[in-house]
A and B are shown apart, each in its own frame.
Chain A
Amino acid sequence: NAGVTQTPKFRVLKTGQSMTLLCAQDMNHEYMYWYRQDPGMGLRLIHYSVGEGTTAKGEVPDGYNVSRLKKQNFLLGLESAAPSQTSVYFCASRRTGRHEQFFGPGTRLTVL
């Protein structure tokens, strides 16, 4: 089992460009999450999904969109990147009824 994988691992964007981050999990988990991690601020929840076809806003959703068309995949989109979105992005998943979240290795995004 690969667990939770994220692509790409690194990306540099110019202001105004768009991109999609892909998260995939092979554990058949119902819940999936997208976080951003910035120095001194810990992990902040962007969006999450409680199942295929459903998404919900987290703590810092502005500037991001998500889609969960398949249970194993959770996509995070930036339509018009801004320097404030420079961060490390983590995806996580968990099973219904369990507290433990399994995290991917992260995507380091720089917006110039």
Chain B
Amino acid sequence: TQLLEQSPQFLSIQEGENLTVYCNSSSVFSSLQWYRQEPGEGPVLLVTVVTGGEVKKLKRLTFQFGDARKDSSLHITAAQPGDTGLYLCAGAENNDMRFGAGTRLTVKP
């Protein structure tokens, strides 16, 4: 059983569409991170959220941390083919990190 549940597992959309992916847990985390991973490479950090209710924007990406610090969402506006990849959320517990299984996003031109 994953400590962090991500949904949907797979998402295929057309260029220009909006989308939201979710990361949910029954545990409280001191911080939550979103990473993007491309095939054959390691994950690369997109954002870290620390405060309950926090919203961060990174160009067309909007990240939100739930008030109870148990869940998070990632919204992409006007998706582009370059957004294609595996999106992973990760929660910090003391010194270690727990990752979700990821959402594999495909944006078709």
Residues of A within 8 A of B (CB): 4, 31, 33, 35, 40-45, 48, 50, 56, 58-59, 90, 92, 99-106
Interface range on chain B (Cβ under 8 Å from partner): 20 to 34
Residues of B within 8 A of A (CB): 2, 4, 6, 9, 31, 33, 40-45, 48, 50, 88, 90, 92, 95-102
Question: A41 is contacted by which of B40, B42, B96, B101 (Cβ under 8 Å)?
Answer: B101
Question: Which residues of B lie under 8 Å from residue A43 when comparing CB positions?
Answer: 43, 88, 90, 99
Bound complex: CA A33 to CA B48 (Å): 18
Bound complex: CA A43 to CA B42 (Å): 10
Question: A100 is contacted by which of B9, B40, B48, B88 (Cβ under 8 Å)?
Answer: B48
Q: Are A105 and B99 in contact (CB under 8 A)?
A: no
Q: Are B99 and A42 in contact (CB under 8 A)?
A: yes
Q: Are A104 and B42 in contact (CB under 8 A)?
A: yes
Residue of chain A at shortest CB distance from B4: A42
Q: Are A105 and B42 in contact (CB under 8 A)?
A: yes
